[in-house]
Structure 1
Amino acid sequence: MIAILLLPMSSSGQAPSYVSTRDAHPEFAFDFWLGVWDVNLRVFQDDGSWADEKSAVAKIYPILEGRAVLELWDESMSGVDAIRGFSIRYFDNDADEWVLFLNWPGRNRSGIGSLAGKFRHGRGEFFSERAIDDTTTLISRYTFSDITKNSLRWDDAFSRDGGKTWSNNWIMEFTRSGSTAEWPGPGENAHTYYDGARCDREEFGVVHDLAGEWKGSVTVGDHTETGPFRTYAILDGCATLTFLRGSTGKEPFEEFGFLSYNTYANMYEYATLSTEPGSRFESRYGSAGEDGTIVFESKASSRTKRRYTLKPAGDRLSIVREDGTSAGPDAGIEWIERYRGRFSR
């Protein structure tokens, strides 16, 4: 899966940094994780022992003015079998909990999973549930513990009996190696990207082709702002991250996106989160037309009706976001353009 990052840049060409307030508010509970980490991955063995099997580097970035935390996790080796991962997490004030979304792709295999949970007494536990069959539900639990300024522990656990018993597969031991994770400069690969060989199906190529430097403008209503629109391929060809900045003239906003091809849904997937009030990370899905245009639309069950039209045309690219409103359950959706971005290489 390929990730493209559309990131607002400072005048120096670097992504803006975020300085945490480190106060007691729960939305800053993951600030301890920001920076660069060496990771020792311990794997549970068939004989019941644990073995140190993998070494990795994790880079953890603040994004969207500190509203969310982004992880890029990369095993310290090249090759399609190396482990690479992405996650984004933010505090959902309405639900009063942290929500985590992650993608750790396999060979030409990609999809987003999620968990939710809280910190209590310095320990964070996050859960998800998935039906295995008609009688069994798999509960997954990810735990952050033993947190200090320069070290922490992460482990997974799984239960098939409603949480009565748990089994473990991985333990990650994090040791800090840097206080700030830097985005790559022009011509440099983003963390987790090598040669694009991990996801080399034709569908992923459509996503990967958007990587690179773009310049142009974003129009919101009658207001237009110009500036760079930068994209980064990640996960060695499996996804694309995006950051877009716009403004009404009075109210600026930033929008992050994760673009990939979901091999489980057999559709392109674009998941976004912004600095706008009430924004939630949510996926939209679409297929490519004959001219390469992809229209991403919300699921019927989605709380927020929204669609994105992505139209690449050689060295030009347009992105249109429309938000939907409806007068009632039996009424149609009226689409209102939120912004229109026009870019060129």
Structure 2
Amino acid sequence: MTNTDFDFLAGSWDSVQRRLVKVLAGQDEWYAFDATLDCQVLFDGTGVLDVLRAPERGYEGVALRLFHPEEQTWRIWWASKNTGGLLDNPVVGRFEDGIGTFECDDTWEGTPIRVRYQWSRTDTDHPHWEQSFSPDSGVTWEVNWTADFTRR
């Protein structure tokens, strides 16, 4: 089965990444850094692998996305040097009305949270991604990491 949800991401990108200085602390201080993303679409569109690099920050991460045809959902795993050789819990979801929303339960510094990734503007030259955490099972959300991409 073919899926084209993440075909927009294939190739090489420059990005501006923004992250909250302190997550779930009720503050609004951000820092920004430049990064690159190199993405391959695999398995007729049902697999996607990308590498995010921010050399000035010594940062490198990998995302693996796999589509489950029977469920019509994506699972997205993330790993970086900071995850200690482990994949994060996968966020699970799909695209609806041009927005991809993917969620899972996880922990942040020992606190149970809900994690959400959202992709938007995927039909433009500047797709947007953001990560949010919810400490109250999705009642409220705090965006803590965003990325805006430009094709290289």
> Which residue of 42, 46, 50 maps to 1:71?
50
Matched residues, number: 147
Aligned to 2:120: 145
In the TM superposition, residue 58 of structure 1 has moved relative to its aligned partner by 0.2
Residue 28 in 1 paired to residue 7 in 2?
no
1:86 to 62, 69, 74: 62
Q: 1 CA distance for matches of 2:44 and 2:96? A: 25
CA separation of 1:27/1:64 partners in 2, compared to 1, >3 Å: closer, same or farther?
A: closer
Indicate yes or no: 2:134 matched with 1:159: yes
TM-score, structure 2 as length reference: 0.84
AA aligned opposite 1:140: V
Displacement, 1:152?
0.8
Give 5+ residue unaligned stretches, structure 1.
Answer: 1-24, 178-345
Q: Give the whole-Å Cα distance in 2 for the aligned partners of 1:27 and 1:101.
A: 18
1:106 is paired with a residue of what secondary structure?
A: helix
Q: Deviations over 1:147-205 (max 9, x none)?
A: 2342111111001111111112211111111xxxxxxxxxxxxxxxxxxxxxxxxxxxx
8 Å contact kept, 1:150–1:176: yes
Greater strand percent: which structure?
2
TM-score normalised by L of structure 1: 0.39
Q: Does 1:101 align with 2:82?
A: no
- Matched with 1:228 is none
1:48 aligns with 2:48: no
Give the CA deviation at 1:76. Answer: 3.4
1:21-59 Cα offsets, whole Å, 9 max, x none, are xxxx982111011111001011224652444x2111100
SS in 1 for 2:8: helix
Tell me which protein shows more helix as a share of its residues.
2
Q: Deviations over 1:282-328 (max 9, x none)?
A: xxxxxxxxxxxxxxxxxxxxxxxxxxxxxxxxxxxxxxxxxxxxxxx
Q: Secondary structure at the match of 1:165?
A: coil
Unaligned runs of 5+ in 2: none
Gap change, CA 1:64 and 1:93, over 3 Å in 2: closer
1:65–1:162 Cα change, 3 Å:
closer
Is the 1:26–1:91 contact (alpha carbons within 8 Å) kept by the matching residues of 2?
no
Aligned amino acid, residue 138 of structure 2 = G
Moved over 6 A (4+): none
Contact 1:39 1:174 in 2 (8 A): yes
Match of 2:144 among 159, 169, 192: 169
Letter in 1 for 2:4: F
- CA displacement at 1:66 relative to structure 2: 3.7
2:13–2:149 Cα contact (<8 Å) kept:
yes
Higher Rg of the two aligned structures: 1
Q: Deviations over 1:107-157 (max 9, x none)?
A: 8x221121110101111010010267xxx6310001111223421111110
Name the Cα RMSD after superposition: 2.5
Code of the aligned partner of 1:117:
G
Change (3 A) 1:145 1:139: same
The CA distance in 2 between the partners of 1:163 and 1:137, in whole Å, is 12
